[in-house]
Amino acid sequence: MTSKPGWTVPLEDGLVMRGATPGDADRLSDYNAEMHMEPDEYPGPAFWIGEWTRDLLTKPHPRMKLDDVIIVEDSASGQIVSSTVYFDQVWSYCGIPVPVGRPEIVSTHPDFRNRGLVRKQFELLHRWGDERGHLVQGITGIPYYYRQFGYEMALEMPHPRTAAVSQLPKWKPGESPTVQLRLAKRSDMPDILRFQSGAQKRALFTPDLTSEDLEYQLFDRDPRSATHQEPWIIGDSGGQPVGYVAIKSIFPLEIAHVFALEFADRGMFRAYTEPFLKSLRQVLIDLPEEDEKPLQKITVELHEGNPATGFLGDSFHARGRIYAWYVRTPELPKLLMLTAPKIEERLAGSDFDGLTGEKLIGFYRSGLRMKFEGGRLAGVAEERMPDRSEAAANFPDLTFLQMLFGRKTFGDLTAMFVDAYASKEEDVRLMDTLFPVQHSEMMFALS
């Protein structure tokens, strides 16, 4: 068994694939820091990946066990030559829990690349996913690569916006701040969960966060880990908590990131985002210790569905490129049946209220037959080599996932791919009714 403690799989050329042990912490941290170097950002090993790895191997993690850290090593020399980590997660699809697996921290030593070592690890972790009932795998990664393992880049990621700290708005001399920022404590967790629940409500997909998940994320990471974020409470002029923000600043990198910014209710984003930025400016100026250089830049990494993105003002000029999560859906019929309550809610009151009959969605070599009874989704069955002339809509490759994960409309896809089409206008409308575009909120997909 490959998920039991001490599991080992022999590979070719004297290599062995095995689960990690606590004794691997230093070596794997050093290896990952070397493999994930970013010379444009920092001249040495990526210590932030090293510290993340060390956290995973030395402390309890709510969503991962040590046997889910895969190491490939040369059995003669003991050298680590490749590695991947697999996290168990639960995401919410409009409030419906979906079991998910997340591979991360993937690399192979340059001397061992292009021999299929990562492919082997993905075959293994996809098997684990099947055993654990994972209906989605999601990974954030380098462009194109994971398509080769059945993934589509179909789930939105935050769109980074950067400003110089010196350009952020500031409080005028004598003006009394209407927003106060203070470092959060563990005892603030009930408030933080309350503020974070706004993100859960507006999202199509979002991690189904437990209090333990969020507390681990915000309070238990090494401060030098790539995944560490420091929570701050946003108070009104009297100090009453009205929201929270998660800030990542890794020294000596001279840039800080805002990863979550939530207020108690939606109207507060308009009222508080600008005053928040004024107080944030002072926090960023004060953050570096005496021996550290001042922070030059702040990057806000919020999903487009976060109302604050509309109120950030003119200081945030540089917009980073749009990117996406890779997703894989090993059992699409099961996933669609799980989302049936939401699909039925969309049908009710639409032009397809009370829909009865079968609708075939074709992917050319395979397809899905969706059976509706009186507006209920009664079944979804996989079909091999479907008849494309019978299909309500046809999608090439994995492009259907762009709709299922809320990133593109059917019109977007038909404009991009001539072999994505529906012959009848009513089926175009049905696709948009069943799978509307909606933002997701993927902060805190715990890794």
Ligand X SMILES: CC(C)(COP(=O)(O)OP(=O)(O)OC[C@H]1O[C@@H](n2cnc3c(N)ncnc32)[C@H](O)[C@@H]1OP(=O)(O)O)[C@@H](O)C(=O)NCCC(=O)NCCS
Closest to ligand X by CB, 139 vs 256, is: 139
Residue from the set 106, 181, 258, 280 that interacts with ligand X by CB under 6 A: 106
- 336 scored as a contact of ligand X (CB under 6 A): no
CA distance 93 to 16: 38
Which residues have C-beta within 8 Å of that of residue 200, sequence separation ≥ 6?
A: 92, 95, 206, 208, 209, 441
d(CA 38, CA 113): 18
Return the range that interacts with ligand X (CB under 6 A); candidates 140-148, 226-234, 264-272, 274-282. Answer: 140-148
Query: In the chain, how long is the greatest CA-to-CA distance?
Result: 73
Residues numbered 34 to 93 that lie near ligand X (CB under 6 A) are 35-36, 82
Q: Verify binding: residue 108, ligand X, rule CB under 6 A.
A: yes
Tell the burial category of 147 from Cβ atoms under 10 Å away from its Cβ (0-12, 13-18, 19+).
Answer: middle
144 near ligand X (CB under 6 A): yes
- Minimum CB distance to ligand X, residue 35 (Å): 5
Q: Which is nearer to ligand X, 89 or 107 (CB)?
A: 107
Distance in Å, CB of 128 to ligand X, minimum: 17
Task: State which residue, 119 or 186, has the beta carbon closest to ligand X.
Answer: 119
The sign of the CA dihedral 134, 95, 407, 317 is negative
Interface mask (CB under 6 A) for ligand X, residues 242-281, using x and -?
A: ----------------------------------------
CA dihedral 16, 17, 23, 25 (to 10 degrees): 130
Smallest distance, ligand X to C-beta of residue 356, A:
45
Kindly state whether residue 226 participates in binding ligand X, applying the rule CB under 6 A. no
Report in angstroms how near the CB of residue 42 gets to ligand X at its nearest.
Answer: 15
Q: How far is CA 235 from CA 171, 184, 192, 428, in A?
A: 16, 11, 12, 47
Give residue for tokens 């309550």. Answer: 341
Q: Is 341 in the site for ligand X (CB under 6 A)?
A: no
- Asked if 118 interacts with ligand X (CB under 6 A), we say yes
Question: Measured from the CB of residue 51, what is the shortest distance to ligand X in angstroms?
Answer: 17
> Binding to ligand X by residue 330, rule CB under 6 A?
no
Residue 176 near ligand X by CB under 6 A: no
* Cα distance between residue 179 and residue 282, in whole Å: 12
Assess 113 for contact with ligand X (CB under 6 A). Answer: yes
- Residue 360 binds ligand X, judged by CB under 6 A: no
117 in contact with ligand X (CB under 6 A): yes
Taking the complex as a whole, the smallest distance from the CB of residue 344 to ligand X amounts, in Å, to 37
Pick the piece of the chain touching ligand X (CB under 6 A) from 139-147, 160-168, 188-196, 199-207. Answer: 139-147
Residues in region 405-424 near ligand X by CB under 6 A: none
> Which conformational region is residue 129 in: left (phi greater than 0), alpha (psi within -120 to 50 degrees), or beta?
alpha
State the minimum distance, in angstroms, from the CB of residue 121 to ligand X.
8
Nearer to ligand X, 126 or 369 (CB): 126
- Number of residues in contact with ligand X under rule CB under 6 A: 18
Give Cβ neighbours of residue 63 (< 8 Å, ≥ 6 apart): 87, 88, 89, 213, 446, 447
Which among 136-144, 253-261, 282-290, 301-309 is the span making contact with ligand X, rule CB under 6 A?
136-144
Q: Which residues bind ligand X (CB under 6 A)?
A: 35-36, 82, 106-108, 113-119, 141-142, 144-145, 148
